[in-house]
Structure 1
Amino acid sequence: MNILPTVTITSKHEIAGGAFSNIWQGTLQERPVCLKVLRRGLLNDAFQEVLIWKQLQHPNILPFLGVNRELFNPNICLISPWMANGNILTFLKNHPNHNIYQSVIEITKGLLYIHNLQIVHGDLRGVNILVTDDYHCCIADFGLSHLISLPGDQTSSAHQGYGASQWLPPEVLASDNYDQEHLRAADIYSLGCTIIELYAQSPPYGEFETDQSVRYKVLIEKTKPPRPSQLASDALWELVGLRLLAWEVVDRPKATEVLQALRAILKPPPTNAQLALLESCLLAWATAEPPDAACLPDEAEWLEAGGWLEAKHFFDELKDWPEAENWHEEQWNDDKEPEWPWPLEKWSEDAFSESGVGEESLTVRFKMLPLLEY
């Protein structure tokens, strides 16, 4: 645990508060930081939050800086970077033209990261998603997070705690005990509710004031949150309304499947000009001729370091071809002969020999291709 005694409080009073903690602002080495002061009697919960949070390092996860036990003695505070833009809901009100699509993808990437570490968040919703200075989303507040145990083990929601009822799936609302293996599916349901929240700019089931009324709507009437008027994409609503908010746990996709679906939905189709330019790049490489200057201005770099690599980067940037990612990954399989990603009309049988690029060199270049993160 990182003990940080040299922290200064800069706010004159708490900035926000909740059932488990209060938020103050401070500085750490002249850097503005958030001081999350946990209420007395929650020491064990604090240790669990620290144990999980300190292991996480990802662009879409709020960084953990350390712990201070002196400023608010006997209470302890958890320290993280100060996010001046606040949570995503406040940010969207101040920046109505912000690309919500991109925020949804970033939130999903953060959720996928913790799920891959066998961690569930337990309280995913708009107020727990903060926005960085460069307008990127990061998941915060791991106070209700926990590690996934062995399949078949039971978790007590009364003991472990779970988030607000408007974001909870029916299996959590219906019982204090549910299978550990279903915890990630509960996060997926909460993700669906959060996406609705971002577009509606209000909580799901926001018209109901009590947990009991939400439970009745979900468990008895089996009502789902309505489609926000701002959510224009039918494909996105189908993903959220039918899959993420599916009643049965087994019908909800995993985080990796959600991310793939979002990328397919949110990426625009390529223009004819983009496709023509890509084909020009690939043909130019195969015949050892420099490509169009619009694609690669540095002819020497193209010829020396592998025009194919640059053309493939260009191809990846498009993200338009439905099988692009699958094709890209298959080229790393030593048992599979390289295949071309695009149906070109004509190839010269002697193209590689004429260009001085043999099969061995071709294989090497394929293995040089990075699997891009985006």
Structure 2
Amino acid sequence: MVQVCSAKGSYKRMLSLEGSRAQTWLDALQTMLDNESFSSNPSETRGTFLKALLRLSNKTGLCPKALQLSHQVHKGEEPVDEGSFGEVYQGRIAGRTVAVKVFRVNQRTDTSKLMKTIWREAIIWCQLYHANVLPCYGIHQLPNQSNRIGLVSPWMESGNISDYLQKRPSSGRLLLLSDIASGLSYLHENKIVHGDLKGPNILVSASGRAFLADFGLSRLADPALLGWTSIRTSTAKSTGTIRWQAPELLNPDDEADPKTTTTSDIYSYGCVCYEIMTGNVPFHTTKNHYSIPMLVIAGKRPPKPDPPDPAYREYGLTEPIWSFIEASWKQDPESRPTAAELQRSHLFSSLVDHRPTQDWGETSAAEFRRRAVPS
């Protein structure tokens, strides 16, 4: 299989397959990607298989059967949450409670292109395996609604990190910052930009562990890795949340929508740190959020709390932590640290973590799929 995906002639012939023959190759490639021998670590072979899987799926409009959970998911009738993207439902699969994020499709949307984009985002997310990245179990296609697709992931009873900290203000906030840095480092190592990092898009497990979620804006940071132009599901100006956005994404003089990058993710990480350590969203005193872009472009940042503030007395904010935050939201993108550098910060090196690493009883999404999807 490696030889077929590496040799130009055989690779081209594989990409020309259609129907059942293409489906057989998609299934075989996904089986290799789910193989435990290299499922948790980036490798040249893994990248080769993912490239082939994405290109063949995009060309044929098909998806690996292992990722198709339509007949296994029992979804609730009413959504438990909704946003501009669509609705979130609670469901059950293989005896476990799951979240089903169903995308809303505009009637004027190019459905074929949108579906391929969602397939692509889903396939990428389904390959991720890290203790601080929310797993994607697979894809749920609604019965009798071929143009409506949902992504299936573990149900997080504790909600997002903002809700979690409101209910549990004494939680170890540095551990949560470390979790987020670790998950972000993993994404960037795999050439993936999150694109919409903020408190509502970070979920917390029952054991108090943070997980990066909502890859609606995710895209490959290096399109050349896949050999095709990266398609973003949405753009920074149209859907990203202004309070967490980097200055380079907010310039009103740019006619084209700017691309989110690993460095803009780092700026957003600094804003998330501010949110966690102060209990406030960035620029919480600025009620008119339309004025925030000009402030950020001018170099303004969320204000540093005064020492009597609960951030110091209750949440653990210190001068070293504030300096750590400031480094992440520097005006010059190239002056910001990388996610790997943040992960190695001395702030995290002495932390003691007694939390369990698994919260839903599976070692990986791949293992869950093997048990949930009949062979």
Structure 2 length-normalised TM: 0.64
1:1-374 equivalence runs, <5 A: 1=63, 2-4=67-69, 5-10=71-76, 12-41=77-106, 42-71=114-143, 73=145, 74-149=147-222, 160-161=235-236, 163-174=240-251, 175=254, 177=256, 183-220=261-298, 222-228=299-305, 229=309, 230-231=311-312, 232-241=317-326, 243-261=327-345, 264-267=346-349
Change (3 A) 1:59 1:156: closer
Coordinate RMSD, CA, aligned: 2.8
Report the more deviating stretch, 161-170 or 209-218: 209-218
In 2, the alpha carbon distance for the partners of 1:258 and 1:217 equals: 25
Instruction: Check conservation: 2:217, 2:232, Cα contact below 8 A.
Output: no
1:44 to partner: Cα distance: 3.9
In the TM superposition, what is the alpha-carbon distance from 1:9 to its structure 2 partner?
A: 1.9
CA distance in 1, matches of 2:287, 2:276: 19
Match of 1:349 in 2: none
**Structure 2 vs 1, CA of residues 29 and 45 (structure 1 numbering), >3 Å: closer, same or farther?**
same
Structure 1 residue 47 displacement after superposition: 2.1
Superposed structure 1 runs of 4+ greater than 4 Å apart = 154-159, 176-180, 266-269
User: Cα distance 1:168–1:109, how it changes in 2: closer, same or farther (>3 A)?
Assistant: same
**Cα displacement (A) at 1:43:** 2.6
Report the count of equivalent residues: 264
The aligned amino acid for 2:279 is Q
Could you tell me whether the CA contact under 8 Å between 1:13 and 1:24 is conserved in 2? yes
Q: Give the superposition deviation at 1:72.
A: 7.2
- Any idea what the Cα deviations from partners look like across 1:306-336, whole Å, max 9, x if unmatched? xxxxxxxxxxx89xxxxxxxxxxxxxxxxxx
Taking CA–CA contacts closer than 8 Å with sequence separation of 6 or more, which of the two structures ends up with the larger relative contact order?
2
| Structure 2 SS opposite 1:133 | coil
Distance 1:33 1:110 in 2: 21
Deviation at 1:178, TM superposition (A): 8.1
Kindly state the Cα deviation for residue 176 of structure 1 after the two structures are TM-superposed.
5.5
What amino acid maps onto 1:219 in structure 2?
Answer: I
Contact 2:275–2:281 (CA under 8 A) maintained in structure 1: yes
Shift of 1:227: 2.4
Aligned counterparts of 1:196 and 1:128: Cα–Cα separation in 2: 15
CA distance in 2, matches of 1:260, 1:206: 30
Alpha-carbon distance in 2 for matches of 1:178, 1:8: 38
Q: Which runs of 5+ in 1 are unaligned?
A: 270-316, 319-374
SS at match of 1:35: strand
**1:215-262 superposed Cα distances (whole Å, 9 cap, x missing partner):** 121124x21011244152101101111x1010011110111111112x
Instruction: Tell me if structure 2 keeps the 8 A contact 1:157–1:172.
Output: no
Once residues 270 and 144 of structure 2 are traced to their aligned partners in structure 1, the CA distance between those partners, rounded to angstroms, is: 37
| Identity level (%) | 30
Name the CA shift for 1:186/1:177 in 2 (closer, same or farther; >3 Å). farther
Q: 1:215 to 1:155 in 2, by over 3 A?
A: farther
| Structure 2, unpaired ranges of 5+ | 1-62, 107-113, 354-375
How far 1:214 sits from its partner (Å)?
0.9
CA distance in 1, matches of 2:103, 2:121: 11
Q: Secondary structure at the match of 1:57?
A: coil
| SS of residue paired to 2:286 | coil
Could you say what secondary structure the match of 2:261 adopts?
A: helix
Larger Rg: 1
Tell me the TM-score normalised to structure 1 length.
Answer: 0.65
**More off after superposition, 111-120 vs 49-58:** 49-58
Counterpart residue identity of residue 347, structure 2: I
Deviations 1:162-188 (A, max 9, x none): 5211111101111355886x7111000
